[in-house]
Structure 1
């Protein structure tokens, strides 16, 4: 029976999500609201409903902020952590697009459901 080695690629959806989670959680350490719980919930939804092969993590021009780019419900969205608001901003299109929602540790489960249901509806 052939042995299969795990695929290690910087271009898989899972790898992009994992790198983004590590970056956001590290950035938020030491702040009043650590982002572990909301980051994991948000990324779980992206992995569940994101278009396969559409998710990638990139760095901003300064190389200090991770940006997750993905397609959900046929819409291109970007997610990035904003230290000023201690939240992850979901934007339409690029990082210059309008903020559709902010997720923080005060975000209720129902807010996640309503936000993502609107995208998947």
Structure 2
């Protein structure tokens, strides 16, 4: 099962911006709560990620955007799951163990606790 991944940016900020556009489009674009969750999550990534470690790729099989970065020395991937309408954070690769899911029911404090735990 070979997936063709294509890198589509040159900087951390460009990767995060392109990922935000992709996730908001996938989530229907009109769901204000999911937009807020996406922006809060990506803010945490920009706050805590290792500079130069963030990139966005497209999964060639599903055209799903995948954001990968290093937080607190751990390589993490983020992808939008349309079935659960959430952004899934995984350890390592896109098929790695799920560490956390972020959706329209995620509380603001969950973001801070999640990223503080990764950093600390």
Normalising to structure 1: TM-score of the pair?
Answer: 0.87
Please give the root-mean-square deviation of Cα atoms over the aligned residues, in Å: 1.8
Gapped regions of structure 1 (runs ≥ 5): 1-8
Q: Structure 1 runs of 4+ off > 4 angstroms?
A: 30-34
Structure 2 counterpart SS, 1:116: helix
Tell me the CA shift for residue 116 of structure 1.
1.1
Unaligned runs of 5+ in 2: 1-7
Is the 1:81–1:89 Cα contact (8 Å) retained in structure 2? yes
C-alpha distance in 2 between matches for 1:10 and 1:61? 16
The residue aligned with 1:90 is 89
Q: Which has the larger radius of gyration?
A: 1
Shift of 1:48: 1.0
Q: Return closer, same or farther for 1:32/1:18 CA change in 2, 3 Å cut-off.
A: closer
Greater relative contact order (Cα < 8 A, sep 6+): 2
Q: TM-score, normalised by structure 2?
A: 0.88
> Which residue pairs with 1:120 in the alignment?
119
- State the aligned residue count: 113
CA contact 1:69–1:78 (8 Å) conserved in 2: yes
* Mapped contact 1:28–1:34 kept (Cα < 8 A): no
Matched position secondary structure for 1:48: helix
Q: Distance in 1 between matches of 2:46 and 2:29?
A: 27
| Alpha-carbon separation, structure 1, partners of 2:29 and 2:69 | 28
Q: Quick check: 1:25–1:34 contact (8 Å CA) kept in 2?
A: no
- Structure 1 stretch 26-35 or stretch 84-93: which is displaced more? 26-35
